[in-house]
């Protein structure tokens, strides 16, 4: 057995590797052993989730942002970005459409928009929850004080996505202006966890300056945090940012890291992200075959989708086209759409139980 296959087998068996072995595993990856890694990642994925890929409806509620992350097209210094903020009515309409298509998780994502802050978001969560009590709400709205997160949790938000982006402080500093720190971002993640959110973290793959060692640091950080969701995707340059001339992250390394994550975190919710679908037309299917189990169709109103320009070339297929195509595309690779809330195992709401078909029904007693 090659040393690489041995490492993969050990990671599969033990669910972890010593750091030096993890570095070697990533450094020495090759096509043949990677196929084996993907097969073992699928075994773990199917043990916990069967052949179901959960859907979440993504609603990009605002592209206004007070931050200036170097990689992102929504950064405040980008004058070329045409700004919008959805009204609560528009957002509720998106939820209605998503619900009619069977979606039971709504992901509200946006820039850090002070004009759509604590109160408006809290009221929005309450409105969605009162109309759709059987749905989960995921927020992805950046860094806020603990008290604000607490208000949103009380209002009914279930989950929060806040990628740590990179766990290496020096790389973090290269990709962000000085006022944004890794330390603060990590503190937000622990606050969110402490408040009982199902938490999602994650890193970009190959932003400028990232080393393979940085990725090992990311894995160590994730092992410490133990998030319920991990979102990773390739860095993709955006033409109106300072990183416009840089190379995009590779499909191959992103898929490799997805499979490693599946073996390190067998039960984690792992999306095949929009960025993956952007660098390769069948990137998301490839992601599922490497261990991912979540896909997020876009529910934003059609006229704003093109304005949410995190990066260039973003795949903005709406739910209508997406769902019909997706069922076929997943069937081709032997998977199916899993409806229902799709909570992390062990995180189903206490008053509901799973009937095993992805639909949640009240208990009999």
SS3 336: strand
Q: How far is the CB of 318 from ligand SAH (least distance, A)?
A: 19
Instruction: Compute the radius of gyration of the chain from its Cα atoms.
Output: 19
Report the distance separating Cα 78 and Cα 90, nearest Å: 25
Which of 36-44, 82-90, 95-103, 229-237 is the region at the interface with ligand SAH (rule: CB under 6 A)? Answer: 229-237
Q: Does 227 bind ligand SAH (CB under 6 A)?
A: no
Among 34, 67, 90, 317, binds ligand SF4 (CB under 6 A): 67
Binding mask 73-102 for ligand SF4 (x = CB under 6 A): -xx---------------------------
What does 75 interact with, of ligand SAH, ligand SF4, none (CB < 5 to 8 A by kind)? ligand SF4
Q: How many CB atoms lie within 10 A of CB 313?
A: 14
Query: Pick from 25, 37, 69, 330: which binds ligand SF4 (CB under 6 A)?
Result: 69
Which residue(s) pair with 318 in the sheet? 298
Look at phi and psi of residue 356 and say left if phi exceeds 0, alpha if psi is from -120 to 50, else beta: left
Binding partner selected for residue 238 from ligand SAH, ligand SF4, none, CB under the kind-specific 5 to 8 Å limit: ligand SAH
Q: Which of residues 76-95 bind ligand SAH (CB under 6 A)?
A: none
Q: Which one of 61-69, 200-208, 282-290, 329-337 is the stretch in contact with ligand SF4 (CB under 6 A)?
A: 61-69
Q: 212: part of which helix (H) or strand (E)?
A: helix 212-225
Angle at 220 between CA 219 and CA 223, to 5 degrees: 85
Q: Which of 323, 340, 313, 318 is nearest to 58 (CA)?
A: 318
Identify which of 202, 119, 219, 204 has the alpha carbon closest to the alpha carbon of residue 160.
202
Interface of this chain with ligand SF4, residues 101 to 120, rule: CB under 6 A: 111-112
d(CA 358, CA 365): 20
- Pick from 155, 147, 158, 150: which is nearest to 120 by CA? 155
Q: Minimum Å distance from CB 8 to ligand SAH?
A: 27
| By the rule CB under 6 A, 310 interacts with ligand SAH | yes
Stretch 121-150 residues interacting with ligand SAH (CB under 6 A): 140, 142
Nearest to 189 by CA among 219, 224, 220: 224
Q: How far is CA 64 from the centre of its chain?
A: 20
The strand order across the sheet containing 105-110 reads 57-62, 105-110, 136-140, 159-161, 198-201, 229-230
Window 155 to 174, contacts with ligand SAH (CB under 6 A):
162-163, 165
Asked if 65 touches ligand SF4 (CB under 6 A), the answer is: yes
Beta carbon of residue 276, minimum distance to ligand SAH (angstroms, whole number)? 10
Span interacting with ligand SF4, options 67-75, 82-90, 147-155, 298-306, rule CB under 6 A:
67-75
**# residues contacting ligand SAH (CB under 6 A):** 18
Does position 54 bind ligand SAH by CB under 6 A? no
The answer to whether 169 touches 209, Cβ cutoff 8 Å, is no
Residue 308 and residue 63 in contact, taking contact as beta carbons nearer than 8 Å: yes
Binding mask 162-201 for ligand SF4 (x = CB under 6 A): ----------------------------------------
Shortest Å distance, C-beta 308 to ligand SAH: 9
| Overall residue count recorded for the chain in this entry | 365
The string of DSSP letters for 112-156 reads --GGG-HHHHHHHHHHHHHH-TTSEEEEE-----HHHHHHHHHHT
Site for ligand SAH in 13-52 (CB under 6 A): none
Q: Which of residues 130-169 bind ligand SF4 (CB under 6 A)?
A: 142
Smallest distance, Å, CB 207 to ligand SAH? 7
Binding residues for ligand SAH, rule: CB under 6 A, are 71-72, 109, 111-112, 140, 142, 162-163, 165, 204, 233, 235-236, 238, 275, 310-311
Give the residues lining the site for ligand SF4 (CB under 6 A): 65, 67, 69, 72, 74-75, 111-112, 142
């Amino acid at each position: 057995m090659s040393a690489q296959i041995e490492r993969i087998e050990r990671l599969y068996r033990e669910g972890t590797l010593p750091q030096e072995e993890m570095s070697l595993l990533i450094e020495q990856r090759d096509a043949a052993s990677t196929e084996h890694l993907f097969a073992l990642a699928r075994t773990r994925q199917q043990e916990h989730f069967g052949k179901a890929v959960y859907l979440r409806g993504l609603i990009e509620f605002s592209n206004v942002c007070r931050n200036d992350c170097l990689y992102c097209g929504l950064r405040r210094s980008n004058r070329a970005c045409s700004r919008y903020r959805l009204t609560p009515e528009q957002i509720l309409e998106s939820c209605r459409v998503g619900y009619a298509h069977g979606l039971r998780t709504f992901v509200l994502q946006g820039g850090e928009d002070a004009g759509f802050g604590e109160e408006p978001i809290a009221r929005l969560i309450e409105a969605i929850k009162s109309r759709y009590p059987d749905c989960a709400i995921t927020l992805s709205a950046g860094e806020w004080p603990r008290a604000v997160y607490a208000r949103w949790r009380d209002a009914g938000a279930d989950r929060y996505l806040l990628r740590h982006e990179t766990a290496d402080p020096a790389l973090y500093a290269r990709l962000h202006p000085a006022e944004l720190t890794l330390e603060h971002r990590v503190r937000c993640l622990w606050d969110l966890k402490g408040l009982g959110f199902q938490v999602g973290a994650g890193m970009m793959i190959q932003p400028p300056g990232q080393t393979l060692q940085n990725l090992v640091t990311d894995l160590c950080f994730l092992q410490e945090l133990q998030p319920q969701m991990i979102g990773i995707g390739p860095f993709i340059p955006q033409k109106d940012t300072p990183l416009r001339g840089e190379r995009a992250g590779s499909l191959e390394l992103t898929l490799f890291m997805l499979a490693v994550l599946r073996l390190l975190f067998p039960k984690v919710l792992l999306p095949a992200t929009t960025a993956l679908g952007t660098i390769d037309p069948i990137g998301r299917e490839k992601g599922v075959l490497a261990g991912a189990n979540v896909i997020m169709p876009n529910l934003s109103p059609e006229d704003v989708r093109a304005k949410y320009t995190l990066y260039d070339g973003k795949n903005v297929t709406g739910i209508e086209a997406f769902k019909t195509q997706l069922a076929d595309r997943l069937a081709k690779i032997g998977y199916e759409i899993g409806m229902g809330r799709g909570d992390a195992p062990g995180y189903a709401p206490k008053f509901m139980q799973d009937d095993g078909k992805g639909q949640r029904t009240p208990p009999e007693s």
